[in-house]
């Protein structure tokens, strides 16, 4: 009797296929997009808190970053009697507030998935492609931030081109060219810190250094880091248990292969020929102050374009972000040979 009732109820149940409920595959794309974001490696810029970061809401197209520069106050002694008490104090004009607007740019890329790979059924394939896409998305963001936010400061300065751009091996020659001997040394970093921390009214003691692995190897292999060196630079260095240099002169050492190689035209394409040999830029900066990143997470999506002639589908990825250095006075660029 119970079986009969179940059959009668079942007569009124109709199964609707997924391609009818969701003909464009938007639900599957949404799930895949979430999986891509979930499998993204931690961004280098996020891991080290390198930038000032804001996310632009869905109905807004621009992020505004305030920049308030340091300045020096004029002080007067009014503790004694006399003219000091009967005259106006000399007041200092505060630094002008500047605002930098960043409008996230839409970037797109895609991969082709053949019909032999079913991302809806095969969990292994789904995870593999989501991980692959996640790595590529994070690499795109990191690469652009390092290029446009950090390396593009080479030769660009409000006080004149090259005012805070130097050559390794003795960074006291502004905007100098490099040669094969211009490898990064501990003194370069210490001198760079000194320039930013004691450079007059615009004081921005740096707390981080960005470099390529080639420059990192040159740095830790330098003889001045030897405990027997009379320079004593090793006393300002911090190493982890595996012997990796993590900090120097109070600055965190950030190493990544995403720092582009520079040769001939430099990091800023076509603007200088100071790179007589191949090398990489090294940037000393202040975290959360020097560079800004505007993202638009609402603009991240995955779309599917079906191609029957090729028997597969294109997975198209869209992401939106923009980046730029916003306080050049807090940064110092060093040209270093490989």
Tell me the DSSP string of 107-133.
Answer: EEEEEEEETT--TTT-HHHHHHHHHHH
Using one digit for the tens of pLDDT, what is the confidence trace for 41-53? 677 898 999 999 9
319: nearest Cα among 56, 63, 41: 56
Kindly tell me if the per-residue pLDDT of 18 is higher than 70.
Answer: no
pLDDT at residue number 280: 92
Fold of 148-291+325-337: capsid protein of prophage fold (3.30.1930)
Q: How many angstroms separate the CA atoms of 152 and 131, rounded?
A: 30
Across 61-75, 171-185, 249-263, which has the greatest mean pLDDT? 249-263
Contact 207, 252 (CB under 8 A): yes
pTM of this prediction?
A: 0.78
pLDDT at residue number 5: 44
20 Cβ neighbours under 8 A, 6+ residues apart: none
**How many helices, marked H, and strands, marked E, lie in the chain?**
7, 15
- As given in the structure block, the two tokens for residue 338 are 């490989």
Domain boundaries, the chain: 2-42+53-65+101-146+294-323, 148-291+325-337
């Amino acid at each position: 009797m119970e079986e009969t009732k179940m059959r009668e109820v079942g007569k009124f149940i109709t199964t609707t296929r997924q391609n009818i409920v969701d003909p464009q595959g938007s639900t599957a794309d949404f799930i895949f997009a979430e999986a891509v974001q979930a499998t993204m490696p931690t961004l280098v810029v996020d891991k080290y808190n390198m930038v000032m970061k804001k996310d632009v809401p869905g109905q807004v197209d621009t992020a505004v970053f305030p920049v308030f520069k340091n300045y020096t106050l004029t002080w007067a002694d009014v503790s004694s009697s006399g003219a000091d008490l009967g005259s106006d104090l000399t007041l200092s004009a505060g630094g002008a507030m500047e605002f930098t607007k960043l409008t996230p740019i839409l970037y797109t890329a895609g991969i082709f998935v053949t019909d032999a790979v079913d991302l809806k059924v095969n969990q292994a394939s789904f995870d593999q492609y989501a991980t692959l896409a996640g790595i590529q998305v994070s690499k795109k963001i990191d690469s652009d931030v390092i290029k446009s936010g950090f390396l593009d400061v080479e030769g660009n300065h409000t006080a004149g081109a090259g005012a805070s751009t130097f050559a390794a091996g003795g960074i006291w020659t502004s905007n100098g060219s490099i040669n094969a001997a211009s490898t990064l040394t501990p003194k370069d970093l210490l001198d760079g810190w000194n320039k930013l921390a004691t450079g007059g009214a615009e004081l921005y003691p740096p707390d981080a250094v960005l470099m390529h692995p080639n420059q990192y190897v040159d740095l830790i292999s330098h003889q001045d880091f030897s405990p027997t060196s009379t320079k004593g630079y090793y006393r300002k260095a911090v190493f982890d248990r595996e012997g990796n240099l993590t900090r120097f002169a109070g600055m965190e050492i950030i190493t990544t292969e995403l720092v582009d190689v520079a040769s001939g035209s430099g990091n800023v394409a076509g603007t200088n020929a100071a790179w007589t040999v191949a090398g990489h830029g090294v940037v000393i900066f202040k975290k959360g102050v020097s560079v800004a990143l505007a993202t638009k997470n609402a603009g991240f999506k995955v779309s599917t374009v079906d191609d029957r002639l090729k028997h597969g589908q294109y997975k198209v990825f869209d992401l939106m972000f923009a980046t730029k250095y916003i306080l050049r006075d807090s940064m110092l660029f060093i040209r270093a040979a490989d």
